[in-house]
Every structure is written in structure tokens, then in C-alpha cells.
Amino acid sequence: MFPTLLWVAVVVAAIAIGRYATPPEIALPAGAMRRSLPRVPGPAPDFRTLLSLLGVGSIVWYAAMVALPFLLWGARHIGVERRGRSRSIAVVVLVIASLIAITSIVQYRTIYGDTPGRPGFSAYLPVALRQNVLPWIALAGIVAAVEASRRALRSALDQERLRTQVAEQRLIALTGQLHPHFLFNTLQGISTLIHRDPEAADEMLAKLSDLLRDLLRHRDHVLVPLGDELRYARTYLEIAQLRFADRLRFQIDVDPALDQASVPLFILQPLVENALAHGIGRRARGGCVRVTACREGDALRLEVADDGAGLTTSATLREGIGLSNTRERLRASFGSDQRFSLDAAAGGGAVARITVPYRLYQSPAVA
């Protein structure tokens, strides 16, 4: 609505200026028409004459203002890919030629009307062409530049949208690599409990079912709220606790205010699994796994620490599918605006740290 009112205001202002800029009648001295060479015009004596020299108030000025929105609309709907470049150019040339012809006819009728002794249109045509060809070509160039800019912006947006879709599908595929690996390890733990502790195996299977149901609900999502991710980590640790029994303790210490922070789906599970396999599992007396999260300015830091056996040279150099997958997913999601490290903890054991931009979770739009 506002652009329409603005355009109407511009047209009204131009009409007012045009009426003011109508050139005054200038009396020519006797014999002026017989001079063989025209006199070089000097500077405009006043602002009104200057506007007239610039063409303000002429028929082509108003015609250009009226035609501009229609030309923009037409340029937007000319399908160069569908019509072909040569046919599109032919259409543009035909439109500009028609506008020049119509403007020349209107000018001729406006200036001379039915005045007796008026010159023929063919005699007036060279004058009309000098006045009208350049303005219409200039206007066509402006329209072409505006449309080219619009199409370039649209193409860039389409490419960015496609790149985002490809990146999301890649992340979904990377996340999908974790599920079979995680499922295999969990089922292996269930199989070891079936004969030794059937009740624990049954509870472990029930928790695995709940976890898989939650994961299937987000199977096409790249990002999830931190609250959901912590729930997945808690369920996974409860499953592991049934396998490790008294050898495993865990803590999840996160401020509820961070529950709506956006994090990659299943980003904590590989870190927890690494702590269990290389930290707690290698100690006879087990240990504790602690999951924490905090906000540091515009960043969100996630930590999974254990007080287990700590890092060895071989464990540092050799990363399994979980940690390498985590690095790749973070790189694909946040580029260089992320950090991931696995270091020895100060009191023994190891600590994995992830730092990503702090952003509130936004639910994906339903198609």
C-alpha cells in the first residue's frame, strides 16, 4: 500500500513541477528564422527554463512515469529461458518502438491539434524522434538493470536455499550413521544381561524403545532443543547404568533456562559413549560421568566429563566413528564458528567440550 501511495505522490509532484516548468513564450527577433547557423544557447536564465530544458513537463516525462511500473511488470514476466534470448530482445524492441511512436503521435496532436497550416506528421517525425528515442532507451536500460538485479538476488537466494537443503540432508545422513552404531552397542549390552539379569535386560529394552521413539520423532531434524538432547543423554546413561550397575554414576547439571537453546540432534551421545567406553569401562571400580552446559555470552558450551582411566596416546590419536562424526557434523553445521576438544581432566579422567553459537530453537515450518 505504501509504495502505491508514494508513487502517486511522485506523479502528482511531477505534474505540479511540469506545469511550473512549462517554457514561457519567447519572442524571436525578426529574421531569426533566416539565420543559417543556430546560436549557441547560453545558461538557463531561471529555474523554470532549466526544468524545461531538462524535459520536465514534456509528454515523454509523463509517459515514462506512467509506463515505468508496467515496464517493470513486463520485464518480470518475460521468460528469457522459455522464449529464448532473440525472441525476448525482439519483444523489447517492439515495445520500445511502440512507445516511441505513441509518444510522438500524442506530442504532435498536443502541440498542433487542428491548427490550420500545421506541418505534416512526416515532417515533424525527426523532431519527435530526437526528443523521444533517447529517454525511452534510457528508461529501458533502467528497467533492465533493475530486473537483472532482482533476478541475480533471486538466483543467489535459490542457490543459498539449495546449499542449505544439501547441508541439512548431509547432516541428517551423518546423524543416521550414529543410530546403527549406537543401537548395535545397546543391543549388545542387552544380550549380555538376558541370562544374567532378565529384569534389567527387560528394563533396558523398554528404555531403548522410548529413546528410539523420541529419535524417530526428530529423524528429519538437524537441530533440537537442548532440553530434548539432555533427555536423550539421560535415557542413554540410564540404559548404560543397567549394564554397568554400581560401577556407573552420572550427573546432569544444566540450568533449565537453557532448555530452549538449539543444538545438533544426538550431539551428546557420542561423547557419553566415549566416556563410558574409554573412561568408566576401563576401570574396575567404574566412575562418574558428568554432563554440563552453560552460556558464555553469545556461545553455548557443552561438556561431558568422566573421572575414569583418562586419555592415553592411542586413545588420543584414534577416534572412532562417534567422535569423528561429531567433528564433521559441527563443521557442517557451524563452519569455523564452533570448537570441539577432548582433553585430560584436571582431577583425572577426560573432558570433551563443544562450543557452538547460542541460538534459541525454532521449530521447523510444517510443509
Q: Could you read off the pLDDT of 100-120 as tens digits, one per residue? A: 888 888 888 887 777 777 788
Q: Is residue 200 pLDDT above 70, yes or no?
A: yes
Same domain? 243 vs 302: yes
Whether residue 340 lies inside any domain: the answer is yes
Same domain? 213 vs 324: yes
Last residue of a domain, one of 131, 157, 183: 157
List Cα–Cα distances, 34 to 27, 41, 186, 214, in angstroms: 15, 17, 106, 96
Same domain? 256 vs 123: no
Same domain? 235 vs 148: no
Last residue of a domain, one of 157, 176, 205: 157
CATH of the domain at 334: 3.30.565.10
Whether residue 366 lies inside any domain: the answer is no
Last residue of a domain, one of 138, 157, 176: 157
Whether residue 273 lies inside any domain: the answer is yes
Predicted confidence at residue 36, as pLDDT, reads 47
Predicted confidence at residue 165, as pLDDT, reads 54
Same domain? 63 vs 120: yes
pLDDT tens string 252-274:
999 999 999 999 888 888 898 88
Sign of CA dihedral 258, 264, 265, 271: negative
Nearest to 201 by CA among 186, 185, 182: 186
Whether residue 203 lies inside any domain: the answer is yes
Q: Is residue 235 pLDDT above 70, yes or no?
A: yes
Kindly report the three-state secondary structure assignment for every residue of the chain.
Answer: CHHHHHHHHHHHHHHHHHHHCCCCCCCCCCCHHHCCCCCCCCCCCCHHHHHHHCCCCCHHHHHHHHHHHHHHHHHHHCCHHHHCHHHHHHHHHHHHHHHHHHHHHHHHHHHHCCCCCCCCHHHHHHHHHHHHHHHHHHHHHHHHHHHHHHHHHHHHHHHHHHHHHHHHHHHHHHHHHHHHHHHHHHHHHHHHHHCCCHHHHHHHHHHHHHHHHHHHHCCCCCEEEHHHHHHHHHHHHHHHHHHHHHHEEEEEEECHHHCCEEEECCCCHHHHHHHHHHHHCCCCCCEEEEEEEEEECCEEEEEEEECCCCCCHHHHHCCCHHHHHHHHHHHHHHCCCCEEEEEECCCCCEEEEEEEECCECCCCCCC
Per cent of the chain over pLDDT 70 is 71
Angle at Cα 162 formed by Cα 159 and Cα 163, nearest 5°? 85
Range of the structural domain that residue 279 is part of:
197-357
Same domain? 318 vs 202: yes
Whether residue 11 lies inside any domain: the answer is no
Q: Is residue 352 pLDDT above 60, yes or no?
A: yes
* Per-residue pLDDT band at 172 (split at 50, 70, 90): low
Same domain? 213 vs 345: yes
- Number of neighbouring beta carbons within 10 Å of residue 251: 11
Whether residue 312 lies inside any domain: the answer is yes
List Cα–Cα distances, 282 to 110, 181, 274, 289, 338, in angstroms: 99, 20, 11, 13, 30
Number of domains in the chain: 2
List Cα–Cα distances, 365 to 42, 117, 215, 260, 358, in angstroms: 66, 72, 19, 17, 21
Exposed, middle or buried by CB within 10 Å (0-12, 13-18, 19+), for 175?
A: buried
Angle at Cα 301 formed by Cα 298 and Cα 306, nearest 5°? 170
Same domain? 246 vs 294: yes
Whether residue 110 lies inside any domain: the answer is yes
Same domain? 240 vs 144: no
Same domain? 144 vs 203: no
The answer to whether the pTM exceeds 0.95 is: no
Same domain? 253 vs 321: yes
Predicted confidence at residue 318, as pLDDT, reads 47
Whether residue 324 lies inside any domain: the answer is yes
* Per-residue pLDDT band at 349 (split at 50, 70, 90): confident
Same domain? 289 vs 209: yes
